[in-house]
Structure 1
Amino acid sequence: MSKKVLIVDDSLTVRLYHRQILEKANYICDEAENGMEALEKAQLSNYDIYLVDVNMPVLDGYSFVKRLREGEGSIAPVIMVSTESEEMDMDLAYESGASVYLVKPARPDDLILNINMLTFKK
């Protein structure tokens, strides 16, 4: 059974890049352009994992993950993928409830390895 991923990023190019990688690895992908749209989708559907950018309009990645963890969605793992590479950014991600933090551009092998590990996919 395929696992379902919600890709949350305001960049269409990044969403398509991640979708291509994940679909090639047999994941089912859905997309959201910002954290607020992602929260709405999380309330309507069950995702096995979230792939989330940090800097987005309307609701940023940190706020999305925090609200998701506070009960507005699921407890599914979250991988944050951002151009922000400072230790402070990573600390904020983990404090918000992220499971893994990767710096963009995420290498396809690293992305799939982490998603497989967090979704227990062989």
Structure 2
Amino acid sequence: MDIAYWIVAGLLAAFYVYAGTLKVIRSRDQLRPMMAWVDRIPLPAVRALGTVEILGAIGLILPPLTGIAPWLATAAAIGFVLLQTGAIAVHLTGEDRRIALNAALIATAAVSIWLTTGL
């Protein structure tokens, strides 16, 4: 199960580091083609969301890697499930109805939770 966790968590972390970094460093105009919802959210909130994504990615990888507070990986994965649940709500309340990626991220984070708890 360790190998499966590292594959799932590594892919999830890579996605969130990429997406979070874009939200932190790019302007609203640069984000708009990829993320139609950015006009409905204040830019500081978009930046904060990107920071949370980067920190969550670190939480998936660093605690199990170091053996210090490995429960933080489970907490990070739960946070990603909640984050994407909110993202689906934002997409559905706006004109952008594309939620397939969000659903896939929820499923991937749920698998990560399962792998960290060993159920």
TM-score normalised by the chain length of structure 2? 0.26
Higher relative contact order (CA 8 A, sep 6+): 2
Larger helix fraction of residues = 2
Larger strand fraction of residues = 1
Work out which of the two has the higher radius of gyration on C-alpha atoms and give 1 or 2. 2
TM-score normalised by the chain length of structure 1? 0.25
